[in-house]
Amino acid sequence: MTHWDDPKALAEIDRSGMSKLLREFPEQAAQAWKLAVDVPEFERLAICGMGGSAIGGDFLRLYLARKGLSKPIFVIRNYALPPFVDEKTLVFAVSYSGNTEETLSCFEQALGRKCPLIAVTSGGKLAQLAQENGVRLISIPPGVPPRAALGYLFLPLLKSLKPLLDADEIEEEFSETLEVLQELAVRYGEAPEAKNPAKQLAQAWHKRIPVLYGSDHLTDMVAWRWKAQINENAKSPAYAHALPELSHNEIMGWEWPEFQTAFVYTLLRDLEEPRALHRRFELCRKLLEELYQTVLEVQGKGEGMLARLLSLSYLGDWSSYYLALLYGVDPTPVPLIEEIKKRLAAR
């Protein structure tokens, strides 16, 4: 019997309780939607963060761009703000712990450049600096790994920007998203493998290296999120790339026979892929099928873009969790990430 059909064995591996956090994600999304703030006028938008605190910025960028927001949006995963970030740039400094040095560095630079600034954190130095400098704070609950707080790290930002978009459409999309997530929480959390795509993905990835392909229409950063979730939850290598770029270089690596047993490819599709990307995806799938026995393909659920985006991301959360169980590792701890932070702080 696989661990995931045996609740006792499952609890022994998932000692820190990741499955509970995954199951509660729809409620987290509902709470997060209430945390929006008013935003001032701006010309550009920059979201600064790292790791689990940055991916919400990518989702925001993708979503707003697809909805036609004409303002430039940048996600900054670094210590330094680019020179174009000025007093007309709205900056969100996002750090779940509030202690990430890259994000703190960007926050201080944004203060110096008099950018309109909003901090998003559960505490730490970022909350302290925001209070000391009179910076608006979106305060989110502490106590979970940042990657399990995606709802809090993405949805308050999106809702805060609602006045720039079609407000009714966003509210409708959000209601649909909640319904879809609630349904998926039960399905991915409880259904046996035959009816559970999350378990099936984990099984297909087991003892191989997952390679995840999205497209720059909507799913490239979801593929990136899946990669990070597989790395952190399952402690497994994983790689992500996106169309159309990958068809100009990466595909040359498919041919080498020795690698064909090492990698397993998963395509992250979307029902509104533009025609050119759709054709490239189809051709890539055909080529992969000719070379590999298994090519996996997945798509988000729901009609609205928000539901499709978050439901696809949620599938990666669950499948990386099940992969951790197959490897017999507790999904929650990330000791090497902690170690790097500790060694940097000691210098």
Residues with a catalytic annotation lie at 232, 248, 341
Q: Is 58 in the site for ligand F6R (CB under 6 A)?
A: no
Query: Interface with ligand F6R includes 95 (CB under 6 A)?
Result: yes
Tell whether residue 51 is a contact of ligand F6R (CB under 6 A). Answer: yes
Phi, psi of 246 (to 5 degrees): -65, -25
Stretch that binds ligand F6R, among 93-101, 107-115, 195-203, 275-283 (CB under 6 A): 93-101
Q: In angstroms, rounded to a whole number, what is the distance separating the alpha carbons of residues 320 and 218?
A: 20
When binding is defined by CB under 6 A, the residue of 28, 97, 196, 319 that contacts ligand F6R is 97
Q: Which of 323, 320, 298, 296 is nearest to 309 (CA)?
A: 298
Q: Which of 194, 238, 229 is nearest to 315 (CA)?
A: 229
Residues 130-149 that bind ligand F6R (CB under 6 A): 145-147
Two structure tokens written together for 133: 């400098």
The interface region with ligand F6R, picked from 56-64, 92-100, 130-138, 293-301 by CB under 6 A, is 92-100
**Could you say which residues in the range 214-273 bind ligand F6R, by CB under 6 A?**
232
Choose one: 9-17, 25-33, 44-52, 192-200; the region binding ligand F6R (CB under 6 A). 44-52
Positive or negative: CA dihedral 330, 30, 269, 222: negative
Tell me the C-alpha distance between 202 and 75, whole Å.
Answer: 30
Instruction: Name which position in 119, 184, 267, 334 contacts ligand F6R (CB under 6 A).
Output: 334
Q: On the CB side of 253, how many CA atoms lie within 13 Å of its CA? A: 14
Shortest spacing between CB 232 and ligand F6R, in angstroms: 6
CB-count burial class (<10 Å; 0-12, 13-18, 19+) for 143? exposed
Instruction: Give the residue, chosen from 28, 89, 100, 311, that forms a contact with ligand F6R under the rule CB under 6 A.
Output: 100
CA 17/CA 38 separation, integer angstroms: 35
CB of 230 to ligand F6R, least distance (A): 13
Residue environment code for 236-263, b if the CB has 16+ CB neighbours within 10 A, otherwise e: bebbbbbbeebbeebbeebeeeeeeeeb
Nearest approach, Cβ of 107 to ligand F6R (angstroms)? 11
Torsion of CA 105, 108, 112, 115, to 10 degrees: 100
Q: Please identify, using beta-carbon distances, which residue of 53 and 160 lies nearer to ligand F6R.
A: 53
Give whichever of 51 and 156 is closer to ligand F6R, judged by the CB atom.
Answer: 51
> How many of the chain's residues bind ligand F6R (CB under 6 A)?
15
Which residue lies nearest ligand F6R, judged by its C-beta? 51
Q: Of 18, 39, 50, 184, which one interacts with ligand F6R (CB under 6 A)?
A: 50
* Shortest distance, position 63 Cβ to ligand F6R, whole Å: 20
**CB of 36 or CB of 337, closer to ligand F6R:** 337
Rounded Cα–Cα distance for residues 92 and 159 (Å) = 13
Non-local CB neighbours of 310 within 8 Å, separated by 6+ positions: 29, 59, 177, 180, 181, 300
Binding of residue 106 to ligand F6R (CB under 6 A): no
To ligand F6R, the closest distance from the beta carbon of 130 in angstroms equals: 14
Contact between 53 and ligand F6R by CB under 6 A: the answer reads yes
> Of the two residues 50 and 243, which places its CB atom closer to ligand F6R in the complex?
50
In the complex, minimum distance from the CB of residue 60 to ligand F6R, in angstroms, rounded to a whole number = 16
42 to each of 71, 94, 153, how far by Cα in Å? Answer: 9, 18, 21
Residues forming contacts to ligand F6R in the complex (CB under 6 A) are 50-53, 95-97, 100, 103, 145-147, 232, 334, 337
